[in-house]
């Protein structure tokens, strides 16, 4: 599949994802398909920025180079990564920085994500920090720069589709992984197999797929995805639709607190007389922890606290459930609102409009009807 430059992609292995773009392939998961504790591979969103690389025929021979501001440059095969460093499996959220973009008014530039640029998988790999320490970080090693095997849409092999980087502290966090397996299976090609980064809690764009090289730099990286308005948001809020010239910007790091309702599906109809419905979903909060999730069926007049399942590890999402009592038959809008450990809750309406539409964490709502639809 990877060797067809036209990317005429059919995805038999994907289950009812919503296609947001075909070239490059971008597809999100409808919220009602995010009802599993661990997102199955066939329901995991896809975000590509360029062409697909060639399919690796011998995954264990895949090599990763670590160079730049290190004592000794390393070139490691996947087989060496698997056997020379402590292996860990962590369930962690991966979320596109543009998730929720379509809720901004005016429309921000980019893929019109609704609530489905998110998934939570079990990633198996080694801590990037362990590998960087093996290479020996110099005092001048302050940022990373990531390179994958996928060329930019022009097809020029020297132009990466995307190449972002992070401050060295995030790279050294034990949860930042070089991952080769997803939900216990070899990392699928679409998700960056044989090898990718998983940088949990921060925009998905840092989690470089088809990872070939990590360049340790003495300054913030300047590859595609790092310059101009890319993954940057205004330091001080600006009016929706305003030009960003002369506006002070910062690189988007931790993603904001967010939740989705995965049951019931939007538009569900219940038999007349139903007075209690079970609601389920997930919540996550970037680098932070989820403190609570509340639900309302009356536009936020009253709230019911959801019961939360403890996360398995840091960066795992929180699965939650609640039973909502309804006063009678009719039409209801259910809203979910997550709050992080610092007391920051999801907004009722999208706040923090920004030109490229990052980090929109407006509450998710689903509509249900009890009894015959009016």
Answer for the pair 132, 70: CB distance below 8 angstroms, yes or no.
yes
Complex with Mo ion: residue 205 or 361, whichever CB lies closer: 205
Q: Which of 114, 124, 207, 262 binds ligand MTE (CB under 6 A)?
A: 207
Element (H, E) at 75: strand 74-77
In whole angstroms, the minimum distance from the beta carbon of 98 to Mo ion comes to 6
Answer for the pair 212, 197: CB distance below 8 angstroms, yes or no.
no
Whole-number Å distance between alpha carbons of 263 and 242: 37
Q: Which residues of 298-334 are buried (b: 16+ CB within 10 A; e: fewer)?
A: eeeeeeeebebeebbeebbbbbbebebebeebeebeb
Structure tokens at 209: 């797929």
Q: Which of 93, 96, 322, 338 binds ligand MTE (CB under 6 A)?
A: 96
Dihedral angle, C-alpha 83, 72, 143, 159, nearest 10 °: -80
In whole angstroms, the minimum distance from the beta carbon of 16 to ligand MTE comes to 16
- Asked if 123 is part of the footprint of ligand MTE (rule: CB under 6 A), the reply reads no
- Asked if 124 is part of the footprint of ligand MTE (rule: CB under 6 A), the reply reads no
Q: Which of 41, 46, 181, 295 binds ligand MTE (CB under 6 A)?
A: 46
In whole angstroms, the minimum distance from the beta carbon of 41 to ligand MTE comes to 10
Q: Which of 125, 201, 204, 256 binds ligand MTE (CB under 6 A)?
A: 204
Q: 275: number of CA atoms within 13 Å, CB side?
A: 3
Strand order in the sheet with 290-296: 268-270, 364-370, 330-340, 290-296, 304-305
* Count of chain residues binding ligand MTE (CB under 6 A): 21
Near ligand MTE by CB under 6 A, which window of 45-53, 65-73, 320-328, 358-366? 45-53
Dihedral angle, C-alpha 13, 175, 71, 158, nearest 10 °: 30
- Asked if 191 is part of the footprint of ligand MTE (rule: CB under 6 A), the reply reads yes
- Asked if 77 is part of the footprint of ligand MTE (rule: CB under 6 A), the reply reads no
Complex with ligand MTE: residue 207 or 296, whichever CB lies closer: 207
In whole angstroms, the minimum distance from the beta carbon of 344 to ligand MTE comes to 22
Near ligand MTE by CB under 6 A, which window of 48-56, 173-181, 266-274, 324-332? 48-56
Q: Which of 17, 32, 41, 45 binds ligand MTE (CB under 6 A)?
A: 45
List 89's β-bridge partners, or say none: 124
- Asked if 262 is part of the footprint of ligand MTE (rule: CB under 6 A), the reply reads no
Complex with ligand MTE: residue 212 or 314, whichever CB lies closer: 212
In whole angstroms, the minimum distance from the beta carbon of 253 to ligand MTE comes to 15
Interacting residues toward Mo ion by CB under 5 A? 47, 96, 204-205
- Asked if 49 is part of the footprint of ligand MTE (rule: CB under 6 A), the reply reads yes
Nearest residue to 296 via CA among 242, 333, 340, 348: 333
26 binds, among ligand MTE, Mo ion, none (CB under 5 to 8 A by kind): none
Nearest residue to 315 via CA among 186, 177, 150: 177
Complex with ligand MTE: residue 146 or 337, whichever CB lies closer: 146
CA distances from 215 to 158, 187, 196, 304 (A): 16, 23, 15, 48
Cβ atoms within 10 Å of 295's Cβ, excluding its own: 23
In whole angstroms, the minimum distance from the beta carbon of 212 to ligand MTE comes to 9
- Asked if 232 is part of the footprint of ligand MTE (rule: CB under 6 A), the reply reads no
Q: Which of 100, 112, 148, 350 binds ligand MTE (CB under 6 A)?
A: 148
- Asked if 150 is part of the footprint of ligand MTE (rule: CB under 6 A), the reply reads yes
Complex with Mo ion: residue 114 or 205, whichever CB lies closer: 205
Nearest residue to 46 via CA among 11, 70, 80, 79: 11
Whole-number Å distance between alpha carbons of 113 and 104: 10
Interacting residues toward ligand MTE by CB under 6 A: 44-50, 94, 96, 148, 150, 161-162, 191-192, 204-205, 207-210
């Amino acid at each position: 599949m990877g060797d067809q430059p036209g990317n005429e992609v059919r995805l038999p292995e994907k289950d009812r994802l919503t296609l947001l773009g075909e070239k490059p392939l971008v597809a999100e998961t409808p919220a009602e398909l995010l009802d599993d504790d661990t997102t199955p591979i066939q329901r995991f969103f896809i975000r590509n920025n360029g062409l697909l690389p060639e399919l690796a025929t011998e995954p264990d021979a895949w090599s990763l180079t670590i160079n730049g501001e290190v004592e000794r440059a390393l070139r490691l095969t996947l087989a060496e990564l698997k056997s020379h460093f402590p292996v860990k499996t962590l369930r962690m959220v991966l979320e596109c920085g543009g998730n929720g973009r379509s809720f901004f008014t005016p429309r921000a530039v980019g893929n019109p994500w609704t609530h489905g640029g998110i998934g939570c998988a079990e990633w198996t790999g080694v801590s990037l920090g362990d590998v960087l320490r093996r290479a020996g970080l110099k005092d001048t090693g302050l940022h990373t720069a990531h390179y994958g095997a996928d060329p930019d849409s022009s097809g020029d092999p020297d132009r990466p589709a995307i190449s972002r980087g992070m401050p060295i502290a995030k790279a050294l966090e034990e949860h930042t992984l070089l991952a080769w397996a997803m939900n216990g299976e070899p990392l699928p090609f679409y998700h960056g197999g044989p090898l990718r980064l998983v940088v949990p809690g921060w925009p998905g764009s840092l989690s470089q797929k088809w990872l070939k090289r990590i360049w340790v730099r003495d300054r913030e990286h300047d590859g595609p995805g790092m310059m101009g308005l890319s993954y940057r948001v205004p330091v001080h809020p600006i009016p929706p639709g305003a030009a960003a010239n002369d506006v002070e910007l910062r690189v988007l790091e931790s993603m904001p607190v967010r939740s989705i309702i995965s049951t019931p599906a939007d538009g569900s109809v219940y038999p007349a007389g139903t007075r209690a419905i079970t609601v389920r979903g997930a919540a996550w909060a970037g680098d932070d922890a989820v403190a609570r999730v509340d639900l309302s069926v009356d536009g936020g007049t009253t709230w019911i606290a959801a019961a939360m399942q403890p996360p398995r590890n840091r960066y795992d999402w929180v699965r939650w459930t609640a039973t909502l009592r309804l006063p009678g038959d009719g039409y209801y809008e259910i809203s979910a609102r997550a709050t992080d450990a610092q007391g920051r809750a999801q907004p009722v309406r999208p706040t923090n409009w920004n030109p490229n539409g990052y980090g929109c964490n407006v509450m998710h709502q689903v509509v249900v009807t009890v009894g015959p639809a009016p």
